[in-house]
Amino acid sequence: MKHLTEADLAVYAGGEVGLWGRLRTARHLKYCAGCARLVRDFRALRDWTRAQNQLPEGVDWLQLSAEMKANIRVGLAAGECVAAPAAARGRLWRPAVVLPVLLVMVLGWWLQSWPPPPVPAAERIVPAGPVVRAKADSIEVEQDGHALALLYPRAAQVTLTASGQGLRARYVDAETGYVTISHVYTQ
Amino acid sequence: MSTLNRLLVLMYAGALALGGQEATHTGAFRINFPADSPVTLVSADWGESRTSALGGALVIELRTALMLRNSGVGRIRGVTLQVLAQEVAPGGKASVSVPSLDVRAGATFPVRIDLRLLQPVRSGGPLVELGLDGVLFEDLTFYGPNRLNSRRSMTVWELEARRDRQYLKSVLEAQGPEGLRKEVLASLARQSERAGLDVQVTRRGRVTAAGAEQERQFALLNLAGAPLEPLSGVALVSGNEARDARLEVVNRSGRLVRYFELGWIIGDRQGREFLAGAVPAADPALRLAPGQKALAAQPAMLRFSLRPGQPVAIDAMKSYVSQVEFADGQIWIPDRAALGSARAPSPEEQRLTDLYLKRGLAALISELKKF
């Protein structure tokens, strides 16, 4: 099975893909647990990112809007002022109008390019090699669509810790009454 | 996947459906104990094992209760079984350990193995091989190939078990049954807090862009009586992820050390703390003489979240020496008082508190008196 790229999955998770792409990706996710998990991770990250403070402190949008409008009015007023004088000075009104408009455009571009909030590292670090993760019912080592999971179906409470080589899950097996420690390794 | 492969998958799934569970799962799952093993297989019940198709892949769930017998002469305190699935998952290696056992010679005991395999196509041969990695006895002697270093792990768990049983006994003697009950309830509360942490581990990560990642210092806990002293430690942290943890320790004991581990605690912005994992000695052939320094390293990338999927923003990190193995094989673990709030419940503490929950205080007291 050919996997989708992380970029495609991230765009899909963000709901920014077209109808055809959405259908195609949804069909792939139906059969590919690995990609589906990545989409879930991206969605969780998106939600987390939204929950953070995404705007720089102190940005007063109403004030910025008022300033932009004021600049436009200043520009228009300047244009009217310079329109009445002699024809020799007639050419000067054009920069007087254009400059404030340019100023507004530059301001808009600057606001658009405001530095984004720190990107969660999950979007910057691409895992290479096996990934060991916990699921609701198991710990799993997964690579290239192959997976080996140790399940804990009879555990009321599971404690997870990262070992030097992988991930450990510790629980009391309700059937045997014994503490059981499952360990999956990254290599 | 090619058409041929799809056909093979369909044929294999059909054969599984027609073939019956017992034969199928026996063929998929091979149990291989050494001839002189002090633990022997009595029976294997494949009860709820099943196979299903997921798109073009096969999902095989093997659920078995192995009944094992102590065929040796000593009391067994712990067993570790190795699970290998190299054909299914490249590097697919796992283990199941059962510590805190008390199995006399000749007695039987159950071990549950529940696993799930996801594979595109079956390549023939057994899917999973189950072997014995080690058995720990009451006198701390060990049998087994020890490929997964289970001797050390099980010895640490056994020493923690003795320490914690002794502590609970002392509480019972000093404060009576009600004092013991309070202690158990406090332990259950701690376990409940910790149980919500999800951890994901990736062996290597390719950094595609530098950004918010910061180098963070560990706060170091110097435990009374520890043979090693942590000197410094850093990890790269970003949001809910941490990687490349590196710590330096110095050997303050007068003995040669061949292995050590440090506990890694993370704290979030709400002030909650979780034991996230361990940072092992970086050198697998360590020979740390008195006064010498050595590094511990956890090169993997760890990602933390609280179930269900809420990232834990790492705000603080602590570390302490959690185990030391000397050159003669003796192992040091911290005592409970020294650990204070950093202490995570041991497997035995988990077993005993679970016993209290299921069978009450009298059963717990009775269990403590067995040892």
pLDDT in tens, B40-61: 999 988 777 777 777 767 788 8
Q: Based on the fold, state whether residues B123 and B208 are members of the same structural domain.
A: no
Least Cα separation, residue B37 to chain A (angstroms): 21
Is cis: bond before B308, omega within 30 of 0?
Answer: yes
Q: Residue A89 has what pLDDT?
A: 52
Q: Is ipTM > 0.90 here?
A: no
Q: Tell me what the pLDDT averaged over chain A comes to.
A: 71
Verify whether the Cβ–Cβ distance A118 to B90 is below 8 Å: no
Q: Based on the fold, state whether residues B248 and B312 are members of the same structural domain.
A: yes
Verify whether the Cβ–Cβ distance B202 to A132 is below 8 Å: yes
Confidence band, pLDDT 50/70/90 cuts, at residue B14? very low
Report whether pLDDT(B349) > 70.
yes
User: Which among B1, B203, B204 is the top mutation candidate for probing chain A, defined by the most A β-carbons within 10 Å of its own β-carbon?
Assistant: B203
Do B58 and B123 form a contact (C-beta atoms < 8 A)?
no
Question: Minimal Cα distance from A167: which residue of B?
Answer: B201
How far is the C-alpha of A31 from the C-alpha of A89, rounded, in Å? 72
More confident call, B92 vs B172: B172
Least Cα separation, residue B119 to chain A (angstroms): 5
Question: Minimal Cα distance from B307: which residue of A?
Answer: A136
φ and ψ at B105, to 5 degrees? -60, 135
Verify whether the Cβ–Cβ distance A127 to B204 is below 8 Å: yes
Report whether pLDDT(B131) > 70.
yes
User: What is the DSSP code string of B247-291?
Assistant: EEEEE-SSS-EEEEEEEEEEE-TTS-EEEEEEEEBS-TT--B-TT
Task: Calculate the alpha carbon distances from B151 to B132, B279, B345 in Å.
Answer: 12, 18, 20
Do B273 and B341 form a contact (C-beta atoms < 8 A)?
yes
Q: Based on the fold, state whether residues B205 and B336 are members of the same structural domain.
A: yes
Pairing of strands B128-137, B29-32: parallel
CA dihedral of residues B98, B102, B105, B111 (deg, nearest 10): -30
Confidence band, pLDDT 50/70/90 cuts, at residue A8? confident
Q: Based on the fold, state whether residues B212 and B329 are members of the same structural domain.
A: yes
pLDDT tens figures, A80-128: 655 555 444 555 556 677 777 788 877 777 665 554 444 444 444 555 6
Residue B31 included in any domain = yes
Residue B36 included in any domain = yes
Q: Which of A48, A146, A152 is opposite residue B118, by nearest beta carbon?
A: A146
Average pLDDT of span A141-155: 84
Q: Based on the fold, state whether residues B335 and B202 are members of the same structural domain.
A: yes
- Give the CATH number for residue B12: 2.60.40
Q: Which strand (E) or helix (H) includes residue B97?
A: strand B93-98
Q: Based on the fold, state whether residues B17 and B139 are members of the same structural domain.
A: yes
Q: Residue A91 has what pLDDT?
A: 59
Q: Based on the fold, state whether residues B63 and B201 are members of the same structural domain.
A: no
| Residues of the domain holding B248 | 197-348
CA dihedral of residues B49, B51, B52, B54 (deg, nearest 10): 110
Token pair belonging to B271: 């002030």
Q: Name every chain A residue with its beta carbon within 8 A of the beta carbon of B213.
A: 121, 124
Q: Residue B352 has what pLDDT?
A: 95
More confident call, A6 vs B231: B231
Task: Please give the single-letter amino acid code of residue B60.
Answer: I
Least Cα separation, residue B218 to chain A (angstroms): 17
Do B145 and B37 form a contact (C-beta atoms < 8 A)?
no
pLDDT tens figures, B191-214: 887 767 888 888 755 554 445 788
Do B130 and B32 form a contact (C-beta atoms < 8 A)?
yes
Q: How many domains does chain B have?
A: 2
Verify whether the Cβ–Cβ distance A1 to B55 is below 8 Å: yes
* Lowest mean per-residue pLDDT among A44-58, A163-177, B260-274: A44-58
Q: Based on the fold, state whether residues B126 and B209 are members of the same structural domain.
A: no
Token pair belonging to B186: 């406090």
Q: Based on the fold, state whether residues B208 and B277 are members of the same structural domain.
A: yes
Structural domain boundaries in chain A? 6-54, 61-112, 131-185
Residue B285 included in any domain = yes
Do B149 and A164 form a contact (C-beta atoms < 8 A)?
no
* Lowest mean per-residue pLDDT among A128-137, A156-165, B34-43, B235-244: A128-137
Residue B161 included in any domain = no
Least Cα separation, residue B368 to chain A (angstroms): 16
Residue B327 included in any domain = yes
Q: Based on the fold, state whether residues B144 and B224 are members of the same structural domain.
A: no
Average pLDDT of span B236-248: 92
Task: Please give the single-letter amino acid code of residue B303.
Answer: R
Q: Based on the fold, state whether residues B201 and B342 are members of the same structural domain.
A: yes
Q: Tell me what the pLDDT averaged over chain B comes to.
A: 85
Question: Minimal Cα distance from B121: which residue of A?
Answer: A146
Confidence band, pLDDT 50/70/90 cuts, at residue B22? very low
Least Cα separation, residue B279 to chain A (angstroms): 6
Q: Which of B90, B95, B276 is opposite residue A161, by nearest beta carbon?
A: B276
Q: Based on the fold, state whether residues B216 and B84 are members of the same structural domain.
A: no
pLDDT tens figures, B73-128: 999 999 999 988 766 556 578 999 999 999 999 999 999 999 888 876 555 556 78
Q: Enter the DSSP assignment of B23.
A: H
Q: Residue A153 has what pLDDT?
A: 84
